[in-house]
Structure 1
């Protein structure tokens, strides 16, 4: 069902600049007001249930090398309102159908001195506001360079924030919880070392930013449809509690090269007095265009294992040999090199993973370190690092393809660019064709290290255009993409559903690099996952990593039950069982949940939620209609209380509950868990203990008569 209603209202010379325009959400709970200040500066404010959420906030863009920026001196020459209502079906997702319902106000502004026009378009949903700048085709605004976007979000108080430091290169930080007024004092402490990072301000933070007011209102600030534009961060004026947009620059400090007609991404504000509704919001997806891929039958959710964790923990290596002080592809002769005995991507080792995947019902196997060049791939600003085509001598591409095919297993390719995007684009067509020729339908791409070309950062316009180019080129070859170290997602997976995963946050690998906070996974659904699914790589059962490599003294800050729950709470159509096969064999009864849990859903219910403390989610699987529940808990032990009222009336189900034992603790007793079964109906209730850093997972299967 799709419904359109358009109303055009025009004011010309007699329009009063002081007069404001109101826009209400379809349910009437939100009211957005647009107005021009006395100097012609655009401004908006937002109320929810008659309470101010965003105070009057300025809008506009500062231009480079221009006598007049797009900041003030505007008059309103036209306004146009519209209502839109549709239901659309995602290729994969948390639900089978999504409603896209909003009221819209488009305000056309003319700058008197320059006779230039811009349009500010607002869309108000029942869960929040999205707005963007549009630049129509016109003779007085053709090519222009953005020095800075001056979008403001004026807060109503000193809210609690769940934040990571503003950075042009990485989002791989643990979250800090503090008052807005405390960000400046905590900014240095909140930073942790990364191979590439560029912070810009002591009050800069990244989106998606989660906030909570003293009266219990939840606010999420982010952006949607980030295409051909720089990633937006937020810089806080902590005297007045006003956030202002701060775009990622290139090496020259420029923040956007624009040509009209064009537009910015959407700036988004999701709001509710119920934290569960923040998690359930589909506003970010709705602000993206429908799928541009007509035939999506080749896009399939994937549950996989892989040659990865053994390298992350130091048990194995990506590199094949220790013989070469430097490597030059086409010159270094790997056929004559001595293997180092630590290489993980060997034909024999990969076959073990293929056998394990086939035995346990997985779809695919990822292999990292299969291609020449890993001996000399990082830290040298090399342009020609990998060719994405040439395997090491101990990796039989064709033989493994045939072996995997005989077992019904797909292979996932790994492309690490080492920040040399020119080199990646140079090889992209051949690399994707090589994948298709050898049975690879999905690629995990990586951008570790500083970006070489243009002296740029990971999140500027140039790089965002590269990520988009790789996704669209992959679609031409019917290849699914899982991009790591790329810009955090903004709902583009609706338009290009072959983007089945991203990293763009602190994932499980950091548990091997010193650990993450035990409440990390209770924050990510409110922040990183607002823009799209994350390849978090859960399922670690051995928490003491010295048992994999004696000199790795890191500890996974999670209970085993918490790791199971992540398959439900950290939504993704791409889910990895990340641990070593032998660790799953040790805990075969718990591993059963990972084997059973679905990765594509027809319905999702958020049962409990509080950022930084706990998240409990129930999801209904496609095809089988089985339900799965996941609960992840933060630092403190608590009892989770849920109802099963989402189950169909009149039916009985067997619930298998994988839970923390009474003495479980993420640090001291992480592998203590219990498994029990019980019969449930839609009238049943459950009170379940969740340990510190713990949780529980439940599979629910109907009892057939």
Structure 2
């Protein structure tokens, strides 16, 4: 008894002094050290295989209207460690099973002057660290406003980074590759025009941020489980190479309105000396709560076509008429308007897309511009823009539904809100019921333009709560959500798998707005896709946009083979064949891959990967023994050599290889491709060349004989 007493006293003594505590990953490659500095400031550091990857970095939060913030003056009052190991089954995903294995350290801190309590919880996985702040129920901290979160990520050197500029309202920027020290000088050129944008600092960047050290260690910074909190950006102190969190403010300039008990999202640091481990990591999903939807049978991956690309390119229009300078729903009489002749969402044209979907095995058709209000929808801060239930005179909602049903095709709804959040919530129940009444099980939501109410941002706490409200409300109606212009994903799709897609980055549409960098798709899986799948809308076969619209001289910076590969490398349970049917009919042999490729998987292997340069992925189709491989290439032609040892032993397969022709090039000859069929087994090896902006796609089908 006496020994127990003195041991406990000794432990409490060291806790009070703030001596460092260590936490090791299950495989012991990563070691996190937590320390209280002399002034009671919490800090942490991280090593990987004995190398420092995060130098001692401070933790804490600055409060508004409070003389004493949650930054220092802490003493440690408790420290608990635990181990967790489970395997769970996602509703859809890259793999059939996901292992969630970590060691945890929860440190309870008490601020001496205020008697406030703060818990910092660390979870260390084999491929990275997650940590968050927790605010227990207590008398001295109930309602509080966050002025800024001061979480630091101190780098060990001037790393190479793959980044987009920090912005409260858009992620739709091309990625810049540079040293950390070069971000300030390049930031102005990294900001291109957008429908809504608010850059905040010349050294501000967005997560997920991908980096590579000079000695070949890959580091990724992001966040997980962004619930009831502002989106985190990073601001770089480029003299000391220290990133610090920078939250998105609300209309008052506040960064968070909190009520204890509550917690922040997880801050994540992925680390490996193999880039493939970053792509395969499931930390973001594992740090989210398990699925909260009891019956998920209605949530299904979707491969679709739609009336979209012809409008993005300017070939067609969303609006029905050119007669009205302004629209007031319920007042404007469309029956007296002259159709403009370019409106794509008309009944007969949509039926053509339904026929194409049915003939080629697609699940659904997306229709945009079907509802009244598109004539003056953008740029006017209108609170009442759309009602989401009133079709244009040339779109027969019931007739289209019945025709699609007769063809075995589902329809995907489109709800563009014009960023008028209150208006969408005002109509949401009626709009979702309208969907169910007319056979729509999925909706693409949009938030183009500045947020209304004026002064809010796309990534503030208030707006993030709106996105979450829509997602949870959709569960009541068994509706799947594909959110565009919303906050970047942080793994919430584990908890609410009806979130089957997001845009939240520079997608294919920008290929019609002047083009994206040819290596853009070799960076997105290391950045944007860390948080969840992207509705990238691939599959463009006609790269010269002027052939669709003579007034648009944009060019798709990709080869046709690269476009095929995206269905494998850009993971999503929601995949669109985005081009016009007539362009697929010109290249029916290449189109076969899009028809064949799966969208849900049992296994995934990242065979080759280097951010900004190349990615090669092999995936096994759900419930099948068939495999699909995709390779996307950056700016330099390269030879790829891949082993097929993941195939089942003793089985024979036929591989169909869709590849760049020798003379192909993303700029000068993008439609040059070859197709060959070969017999393969698990002992086979495939050698293939990818040209600049190119790639290859392979279907591997099991043969019974």
Give the TM-score category using the shorter length. over 0.9
Is 1:127 matched up with 2:124? no
Is 1:553 matched up with 2:559? no
Aligned equivalents of 2:469, 2:13: Cα separation in 1 = 44
Residue 114 (structure 1) aligns with: 114
1:15-65, Cα deviation, whole Å (9 max, x unpaired): 343411100001111100001000000000000001100000000000000
Q: Helix, strand or coil: the match of 2:270? A: strand
Is 1:376 matched up with 2:372? no
TM-aligned CA deviation for residue 668 of structure 1: 0.1
Residue 80 (structure 2) aligns with: 80
> Structure 1: where are the runs of 5+ without partners?
1-7
Residue 4 (structure 2) aligns with: none
Aligned equivalents of 1:144, 1:470: Cα separation in 2 = 26
Q: Helix, strand or coil: the match of 1:657? A: strand
The 5 Å alignment of 1:444-459 reads 444-453=444-453, 455-459=455-459
TM-score of the superposition, structure 2-length normalised?
Answer: 0.98
1:525-551, Cα deviation, whole Å (9 max, x unpaired): 000000000000000000000000001
Aligned equivalents of 1:112, 1:454: Cα separation in 2 = 41
Is 1:607 matched up with 2:586? no
Moved more, 123-132 or 12-21: 12-21
Aligned equivalents of 1:412, 1:59: Cα separation in 2 = 45
Residue 533 (structure 1) aligns with: 533
Aligned equivalents of 1:209, 1:632: Cα separation in 2 = 20
Is 1:175 matched up with 2:175? yes
Residue 522 (structure 2) aligns with: 522
Q: Aligned pair in 2 of structure 1 residues 54, 14: CA closer, same or farther (>3 Å)?
A: closer
Q: Helix, strand or coil: the match of 1:455? A: coil
Aligned length: 698
CA contact (8 A) 1:17 1:35 kept: no
Aligned equivalents of 2:532, 2:261: Cα separation in 1 = 28
Residue 4 (structure 1) aligns with: none
CA contact (8 A) 1:276 1:608 kept: yes
Residue 290 (structure 1) aligns with: 290
Aligned equivalents of 1:517, 1:549: Cα separation in 2 = 22
TM-aligned CA deviation for residue 650 of structure 1: 1.2
Aligned equivalents of 1:295, 1:595: Cα separation in 2 = 29
Residue 221 (structure 2) aligns with: 221
Aligned equivalents of 1:457, 1:10: Cα separation in 2 = 50
Q: Helix, strand or coil: the match of 2:514? A: coil
Aligned equivalents of 1:125, 1:540: Cα separation in 2 = 39
Q: Helix, strand or coil: the match of 1:349? A: helix
Aligned equivalents of 1:312, 1:618: Cα separation in 2 = 31
Aligned equivalents of 1:460, 1:495: Cα separation in 2 = 21
Residue 466 (structure 2) aligns with: 466
1:661-697, Cα deviation, whole Å (9 max, x unpaired): 0000000000000000001111111110101000000
Q: Helix, strand or coil: the match of 1:294? A: coil
> Structure 2: where are the runs of 5+ without partners?
1-7
Aligned equivalents of 1:18, 1:291: Cα separation in 2 = 38
Aligned equivalents of 2:551, 2:505: Cα separation in 1 = 26
Aligned equivalents of 1:16, 1:444: Cα separation in 2 = 53
TM-aligned CA deviation for residue 700 of structure 1: 0.2
CA contact (8 A) 1:10 1:79 kept: no
Aligned equivalents of 1:462, 1:129: Cα separation in 2 = 28
TM-aligned CA deviation for residue 651 of structure 1: 1.2
Q: Aligned pair in 2 of structure 1 residues 703, 336: CA closer, same or farther (>3 Å)?
A: same
Q: Helix, strand or coil: the match of 1:197? A: coil
1:566-598, Cα deviation, whole Å (9 max, x unpaired): 000000000000000000000000000000000
TM-aligned CA deviation for residue 10 of structure 1: 10
TM-aligned CA deviation for residue 13 of structure 1: 6.1
Q: Helix, strand or coil: the match of 2:15? A: coil
Residue 589 (structure 2) aligns with: 589
Residue 481 (structure 1) aligns with: 481
CA contact (8 A) 2:16 2:77 kept: no
Q: Aligned pair in 2 of structure 1 residues 29, 14: CA closer, same or farther (>3 Å)?
A: closer
TM-aligned CA deviation for residue 250 of structure 1: 1.0
Aligned equivalents of 2:624, 2:365: Cα separation in 1 = 24
Aligned equivalents of 1:9, 1:144: Cα separation in 2 = 34
Aligned equivalents of 1:37, 1:161: Cα separation in 2 = 30
Residue 253 (structure 2) aligns with: 253
TM-aligned CA deviation for residue 9 of structure 1: 11
Q: Aligned pair in 2 of structure 1 residues 9, 615: CA closer, same or farther (>3 Å)?
A: farther
1:124-148, Cα deviation, whole Å (9 max, x unpaired): 0000000000000000000000000
TM-score of the superposition, structure 1-length normalised?
Answer: 0.98
Moved more, 591-600 or 448-457: 448-457
Is 1:490 matched up with 2:490? yes
The 5 Å alignment of 1:82-101 reads 82-101=82-101
CA contact (8 A) 2:18 2:76 kept: no
Q: Helix, strand or coil: the match of 2:523? A: helix
The 5 Å alignment of 1:676-687 reads 676-687=676-687
Residue 427 (structure 1) aligns with: 427
Residue 185 (structure 1) aligns with: 185
Q: CA RMSD in A?
A: 1.0
Q: Helix, strand or coil: the match of 2:17? A: coil
TM-aligned CA deviation for residue 336 of structure 1: 1.3
The 5 Å alignment of 1:619-698 reads 619-698=619-698
Residue 303 (structure 2) aligns with: 303
